[in-house]
C-alpha cells in the first residue's frame, strides 16, 4: 500500500470515527479469516475482494450529498455505462441489482397460461416472483456438455411462451454456451418471443456481450450487474440493455424509472467501472482459487464441472455426512444443490486464503 493511500486511509478513518462510522468500512477486504470464528461466505457468488479501492473512495467522498435525490448521479452513471458499451443512454434502465430487471421482465410477460422457458438447472432466485405473477416454468434440461440445449429450447417455444431466459455463463454450472450459437439462437428465438440474456458473469469468462443485438431488437433484453466482478452486491446496482421502446416499457413498471439506485450506489458503480486494475486482479484471483479447488477435488476424487465464473459446482454423492452442515460447523457457508439426479455443492470463490481453508476443511470432511 502506498504511503499516500495509508495517509488517506488514516485521515478518512479519523474523520469517519468522529462521525461514528465503523472503521472496518475501510478494511482492505470485506471478509477476512484472521479471527477463527469469522464466517467464510462462499454461498452467494459475491466478490470477496470488493468493493474496489476506487469505489470505496467514491462512497466516502459522496456520502455527504445523500440529503439530495440522486438524479444527477443517475444520469452520470447511465452516461458512463453507455460509453462503456458504446450505446445510448436510452438503451439503459437501472435497477436494484439485475434481480429487479429480471422481475420487471417477468411483470411485463405475466399472463394467464403464460410460461417462461428456462434451462435446468439455471439461476432460479427470481422464479418465485414469476410464479407469483402467474407464470409457470418450462424447464429444459442442459445438454450432455452441461450447457443450454439451444436447439431444444428453440423448438419448445410455443404460443404460451412469454419469455426465454438464458443465463450465460450459467449459474450454477459455471458453463458457457458458444457465443456464436447463442447469438444465432437469440436472433431466431426473438422472432417468436421475448429473449432475456442474463450476463451476470460474462466478465469472468471474457465473453462478449449481446448488447449490440438487444439495442436494435425490441424482443431482446440483456441484463448486467455490479454485484459480481465489480464487488458491489450490497450496493444493489444492475441494469437492462435494450431497445429504447423496451426500456420505456420496463421503466413503466418502476415507480420512478432508474431511481432504485441510490446516490452512494451510483458513485460506487461509476468508480468500479473505472477501476480496471481491480477487475483484472479479481479475475486473476478467481482463476487462481479455482485451480486450488480443482487440485483438491482431483486429490479427493470428487467430480466437478470446470467453471468460467467465480464459483464451481462439484459432486458430493460420495460424502455420507450432511456436507453443508459440516462446513457450517467450521464457519464456512456453501450451497447444497440437487442436480442431475445427484448431490452437488456450489462453492463461490473467496479470497485465496479463504479457499485454502475451504480445501483443508473439505479434506477433513471427506
Ligand atoms: C445469474 C444471476 N443473475 C442475476 C443475479 C442477481 O444479481 P443482482 O440482483 O445482485 O444483480 C445473480 C446473483 O447471484 C445471478 O447469479
Query: Top-level CATH class of 63-274?
Result: alpha beta
Residue 210 has pLDDT above 60, yes or no: yes
**Span 187-201, average pLDDT:** 98
Give the full edge-to-edge strand order of the sheet including 194-198: 92-95, 238-241, 220-225, 194-198, 161-167, 115-120, 136-141
CB of 200 within 6 A of ligand 1: the answer is yes
Q: How far is the CA of 237 from the centre of ligand 1 (A)?
A: 10
What DSSP letter does each residue of 118-137 carry, written as one string?
Answer: EEES---TTHHHHHHTT-EE
Residue with cell 417455444: 157
Question: How far, in Å, CA of 167 to CA of 201, rounded?
Answer: 9
Answer yes or no: same fold for 16-45+276-365 and 63-274: no
The percent of residues in the chain predicted with pLDDT above 70, rounded, is 90
> Chain-wide mean pLDDT for the chain?
92
**Span 333-346, average pLDDT:** 98
Q: Residue 91: how many CB atoms within 10 A of its CB?
A: 23
Per-residue pLDDT of 302-338, as tens digits, reads 999 999 999 999 999 999 999 999 999 999 999 999 9
Atom of ligand 1 nearest to the CA of 233: 10
Q: Considering only 16-20, 47-51, 154-158, 165-169, which range has the smallest mean pLDDT?
A: 16-20
Q: Give ∠ CA 312-318-324 in degrees, rounded to 5.
A: 55
Domain range annotation of the chain: 16-45+276-365, 63-274
CB of 233 within 6 A of ligand 1: the answer is yes
Residue 111 has what pLDDT?
80
Residue 2 has pLDDT above 80, yes or no: no
Atom of ligand 1 nearest to the CA of 122: 1
Q: How far is the CA of 141 from the centre of ligand 1 (A)?
A: 21
Q: How far is the CA of 199 from the centre of ligand 1 (A)?
A: 9
Residue 17 has what pLDDT?
40
Residue 38: band (very low, low, confident or very high) from pLDDT cuts 50, 70, 90: confident
Residue 103 has what pLDDT?
98
Residue 112: band (very low, low, confident or very high) from pLDDT cuts 50, 70, 90: confident
**Span 180-187, average pLDDT:** 98
DSSP-derived 3-state class of residue 343: strand
CA dist list (Å): 141 to 52, 162, 188, 211, 292: 37, 19, 20, 26, 30
**Span 250-271, average pLDDT:** 97
Pocket test for ligand 1, best of 50, 97, 101 (most atoms within 8 A of CB): 97
Residue 273 has what pLDDT?
98
Rg (CA), the chain: 21
Pocket test for ligand 1, best of 171, 177, 221, 230 (most atoms within 8 A of CB): 171
Q: How far is the CA of 41 from the centre of ligand 1 (A)?
A: 16
CATH number for 16-45+276-365: choose from 3.90.1150.10, 1.10.10.10, 3.40.50.720, 3.20.20.370.
3.90.1150.10
Amino acid at each position: 500500500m502506498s504511503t499516500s493511500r495509508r495517509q488517506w486511509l488514516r485521515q478518512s478513518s479519523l474523520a469517519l470515527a468522529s462521525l461514528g462510522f465503523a472503521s472496518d468500512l475501510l478494511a482492505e477486504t470485506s471478509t477476512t479469516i484472521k479471527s477463527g470464528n469469522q464466517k467464510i461466505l462462499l454461498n452467494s457468488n459475491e466478490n470477496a475482494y470488493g468493493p474496489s479501492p476506487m469505489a470505496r473512495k467514491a462512497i466516502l467522498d459522496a456520502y455527504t450529498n445523500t440529503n439530495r435525490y440522486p438524479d444527477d448521479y443517475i444520469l452520470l452513471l447511465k452516461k458512463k455505462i453507455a460509453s462503456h458499451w458504446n450505446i445510448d443512454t436510452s438503451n439503459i434502465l437501472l435497477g436494484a441489482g439485475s434481480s429487479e430487471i429480471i422481475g420487471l421482465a417477468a411483470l411485463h410477460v405475466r399472463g394467464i397460461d403464460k410460461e417462461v422457458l428456462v434451462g435446468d438447472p439455471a439461476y432460479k432466485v427470481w422464479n418465485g416472483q414469476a410464479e407469483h405473477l402467474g407464470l409457470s416454468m418450462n424447464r429444459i434440461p442442459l445438454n450432455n456438455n452441461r450447457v443450454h440445449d439451444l436447439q431444444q429450447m428453440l423448438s419448445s417455444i410455443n404460443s404460451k411462451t412469454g419469455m426465454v431466459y438464458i443465463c450465460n455463463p450459467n449459474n450454477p454450472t459455471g458453463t458457457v454456451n458458444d457465443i456464436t450459437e447463442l447469438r444465432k439462437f437469440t436472433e431466431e428465438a426473438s422472432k417468436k418471443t421475448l429473449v432475456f440474456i442474463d450476463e451476470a458473469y460474462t466478465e469472468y469468462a471474457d465473453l462478449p456481450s449481446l448488447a449490440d443485438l438487444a439495442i436494435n431488437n425490441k424482443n431482446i433484453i440483456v441484463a448486467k450487474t455490479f454485484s459480481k466482478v465489480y464487488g458491489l452486491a450490497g450496493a444493489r446496482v444492475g441494469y437492462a440493455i435494450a431497445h429504447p421502446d423496451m426500456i420505456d416499457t420496463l421503466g413503466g413498471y418502476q415507480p420512478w424509472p432508474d431511481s432504485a439506485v441510490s446516490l452512494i450506489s451510483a458513485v460506487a458503480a461509476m468508480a468500479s467501472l473505472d477501476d480496471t486494475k481491480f477487475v483484472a486482479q479479481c479475475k486473476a484471483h478467481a482463476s487462481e482459487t479455482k485451480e486450488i479447488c480443482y487440485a483438491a477435488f482431483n486429490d479427493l476424487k470428487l467430480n466437478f464441472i470446470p467453471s468460467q465464473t467465480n464459483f464451481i459446482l462439484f459432486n458430493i454423492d460420495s460424502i455420507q455426512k450432511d456436507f453443508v452442515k459440516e462446513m457450517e460447523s467450521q464457519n464456512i457457508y456453501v450451497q447444497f444443490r440437487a442436480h442431475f439426479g445427484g448431490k452437488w455443492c456450489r462453492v463461490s470463490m473467496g479470497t485465496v486464503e479463504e479457499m485454502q481453508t475451504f480445501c483443508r476443511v473439505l479434506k477433513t470432511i471427506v
